[in-house]
Amino acid sequence: MVRCLALNASFEPLTMVPVKRALRLVIDGKAEIVEADTGEPIRSTRISLPKPAIIRLVKFVHVPRKFRRQVTNTFLFARDDYRCQYCHRTQAQLRPRECLTRDHLLPISRGGGNEWTNCVTACSSCNTRKGNRLPEECGMEPLHAPVEPHFVHLAWAVRRLTAVQSKYIRYFYGAAALRAIRGTSTPAATLAGL
């Protein structure tokens, strides 16, 4: 599915939206096209618009800081590069009945919580083997110490950006953020430095 980068009124990248939704926002006067894809415009019986690659909202939308910091499996797995932090296997290397899961270094039953610094990606086999123990109690230290990622990485870790969309991420957040999004450097080291 072709998607469009949506910018806030301040030009801060917000999210990716389907082109159909982007066009609806433009037609309703809630957004403007900043950059369009080259090629055929999108036509209806009444109007013709260029196919948007990037839109900008007309009114500023406040994104609560708390929302940016939530630990979800999607972002947790992306932070850990879709790799079990104990046996170092990637999602593609797991056996058919195995899957990636969330493991708490300090188990919830022993007072741990769902914080970024307490959660790591683990395959279901390693998570079961570790059980309700601390990593040092069972000799299972994670590959990388868990860190709270910068919200820029959280927002874009699972997105595919085109060249023109990447330009806006680079302008607003810098080349280091873009490299982190594309996964061109070690996840834990990059995320801690953002």
- pLDDT value for 189: 40
Least confident of 25-29, 79-83, 162-166: 162-166
**DSSP calls for 8-46:** PTTS-EEEEEEHHHHHHHHHTTSEEEEEE-SSPPEE-SS
pTM above 0.75, yes or no: no
The encoded tokens of residue 52 equal: 């948007």
Q: 86 vs 11, which has greater pLDDT?
A: 86
Residue range 90-136, pLDDT digits in tens: 988 999 889 999 999 999 999 999 999 999 999 999 999 999 999 99
Residue-range domains of the chain with CATH: 3-63 (no CATH), 66-138 (1.10.30.50), 151-193 (no CATH)
Of 1, 2, 27, whose CA–CA distance to 164 is shortest? 2
Alpha carbons 142 and 122: distance in angstroms, whole number: 9
- Strands 100-104 and 52-57, by their bridges, are unpaired
Among residues 51, 23, 48, 47, the alpha carbon closest in space to that of 39 is found at 51
Please, which pLDDT band fits residue 25 given cuts at 50, 70 and 90?
very high
What is the per-residue pLDDT for 84?
Answer: 96
